[in-house]
Amino acid sequence: MNTVVRYKVWPARVAENEDLVRAVYRQLHELKPAGVHYATFKLKDGVTFQHVASFESEEAHTIFRNLPAFKDFTAGVKDRCEEVPQAVEASVVGSFGFL
């Protein structure tokens, strides 16, 4: 399962959003869950974020969704956003050292 999520936060909430995203990565680095591949990008405009996630199994996806830091991130995401998250499933056409 591959998902791409894109959204735009209010300029005053960028630092908060980045802190919440970094907390997710801290937990991922601590737990090292198998089958989870995740990357977050902040686009050049400084307020648009794009997350790319790939899960090798439903179990890996469930572990990720249940991370306390991910729950904290998603709890207030709509309030932080000028443009709410749009998630789409995606298929890999090619990848080098990414997934």
Mean pLDDT, rounded, for 38-46: 96
> Does residue 96 sit within a domain?
no
In angstroms, rounded to a whole number, what is the distance separating the alpha carbons of residues 88 and 81?
Answer: 18
State the average pLDDT for the chain: 93
Q: Over 90: is that where the pLDDT of 96 sits? A: no
Identity of residue 45: D
Mean pLDDT, rounded, for 64-86: 93
> Does residue 72 sit within a domain?
yes
> Does residue 50 sit within a domain?
yes
pLDDT band at 99 (very low <50, low <70, confident <90, very high): low
Look at the chain and report how many structural domains it folds into. Answer: 1
How much is the pTM? 0.89
- In this structure, what CATH number is given to the domain that contains residue 66? 3.30.70.100
